Amino acid sequence: MVRESQQPPRVVQDACAHEHVPDEAARNDAGQTIFPALMTGGVERAYKLDLKLGFRCNNRCTFCVQGDKRDYVEDLTTAQAIERLEAARETCDGLLLTGGEITIRDDVPEIIRAAKSLGYKLIQVQTNGRRLAYMSYCEALVEAGATEFNPSLHGHIAPLHDGLVGAKGAYNQVIQGLRNLQKLNQKVLSQTVITRMNVMHLRDIANLLVHLGVWQVQFAFVHALGTAAKTWDQTVPRYRDVQKHLPLALDLVRAAGRSTVTEAVPFCFLKGREWAAVEPGLPDTTVYDGDVRIGDYARYRLEAGKAHGPPCEVCTWQFACEGPWHEYPDRFGWDEFVPRTDPPPSKSQDTP
């Protein structure tokens, strides 16, 4: 039985790719586009279904936001997954299949085929990328109807990535998987969770992903829930350190002609690179998380996930900024967050 709730137990949609974005651009007073990464050239904004198939996983990430859900939340059966696809199709055109790690299941191609037959226009596979090392599996997902892939890479070398995900050999599997997808000419949107261990290597990670043909590189600040809350001191970086290293990564990706976005990085830490913030373009999303259904994830994210503090009250960018995940200022306070005084962006229907 699925429960409808506006305030469910905390459900997180961290580090996911965002395929539908608004028509309008945000511009400053000079008419310059603030969020060009969010421009679609007139693509209609649509609802997206975030369908979590279960929480079992073959990694043990130090930053995992889902924590021990794998121990007590049962995976959906194939029939239950398809039932949710059918129920959401009336309002949702896009689909994000996620978990847990969905590729440890054998029915993912079947679920993708069902989604395609129901008319989902975009079907994205979010994965830790390890099973993508097998070309035959990549081909099976593509043949079933997957349109985008969202693998994770959290380090530019094996010791860093494998250490963060708690699985020796995972790095080599992800790299092979990215090469396989490149050979198949697939659209790949990578995700990297920013942690204390990799923050100083973000540019190196970006450089590797660009060379592996990734279309969009996403950097998401770690959300300190689940396992990440238990490993806080080793896992959660300070925003002041992110501000030093993230711009180098963003500039490298953009210079290569690829898309790059950030998640959960407030605008006070993105001066001059506001275009990277993904939040203004997040699609309207319905989330199925176990037996909980969230019909309006944006509302949930703003009311129960993110936070504004005293510096935000006088910040000129307050209306455009969601703020950090509230766990961060709950622990560290608001001293790092310096309110902006420059003119905020304005909404315009013009395209660049």
> Peptide bond preceding 333: is omega within 30 degrees of 0, i.e. cis?
no
Kind and range of the H or E element at 112? helix 108-118
DSSP state of 166: T
Q: In what order do the strands lie in the sheet with 122-127?
A: 3-4, 292-294, 285-289, 47-52, 92-98, 122-127, 148-151, 187-194, 216-221, 259-263
Q: At what angle do helices 170-183 and 135-144 cross, to 10 degrees?
A: 50
Beta bridge partners of 46: none
pLDDT digits 0-9 by tens, 302-314? 777 899 999 999 9
Confidence (pLDDT) at 288:
67
Distance CA 7, CA 96 (A): 22
Residue 337 has pLDDT above 90, yes or no: yes
Residue 23 has pLDDT above 50, yes or no: no
Residue with tokens 């530019």: 156
pLDDT digits 0-9 by tens, 271-287? 999 999 998 877 777 67
DSSP state of 344: P
SS3 350: coil
The CATH number of residue 257's host domain is: 3.20.20.70
Distance CA 237, CA 234 (A): 8
Residue with tokens 């990328």: 129
Kind and range of the H or E element at 79? helix 78-88
Distance CA 198, CA 212 (A): 19
328's CB contacts (< 8 A; 6+ apart) are 224, 236, 239
Question: Domain count of the chain?
Answer: 1
Reference 119, options 100, 147, 98; nearest CA is 147
pLDDT cut 70: percent of the chain above it: 81
The widest CA-to-CA distance across the chain, in whole angstroms, is 55
Using left for φ > 0, alpha for ψ between -120 and 50, and beta otherwise, residue 212 falls in: alpha
Dihedral sign, Cα of residue 12, residue 16, residue 22, residue 27: positive
Beta bridge partners of 294: 287
Radius of gyration of the chain (CA): 19
Q: Are 13 and 294 in contact (CB under 8 A)?
A: no
Q: Which pLDDT band, with edges at 50, 70 and 90, does 346 fall under?
A: low
Q: Which pLDDT band, with edges at 50, 70 and 90, does 48 fall under?
A: confident
Q: What DSSP string runs through 200-238? A: GGHHHHHHHHHHTT-SEEEEEE---STHHHHTHHHHPPP
128-to-166, 224, 282, 321 alpha-carbon distances in Å:
12, 19, 22, 29
Q: Which pLDDT band, with edges at 50, 70 and 90, does 4 fall under?
A: very low
State the residue range of the domain holding 147: 3-348
Tokens of 228: 């990440």
pLDDT digits 0-9 by tens, 132-170? 999 999 999 999 999 999 999 999 999 999 999 999 999
Distance CA 274, CA 35 (A): 6
DSSP β-ladder status, 259-263 and 285-289: unpaired
SS3 52: strand
Residue 25 has pLDDT above 80, yes or no: no
Tokens of 235: 């896992």
Distance CA 157, CA 159 (A): 6
Distance CA 332, CA 324 (A): 12
pLDDT digits 0-9 by tens, 63-79? 999 888 888 889 999 99
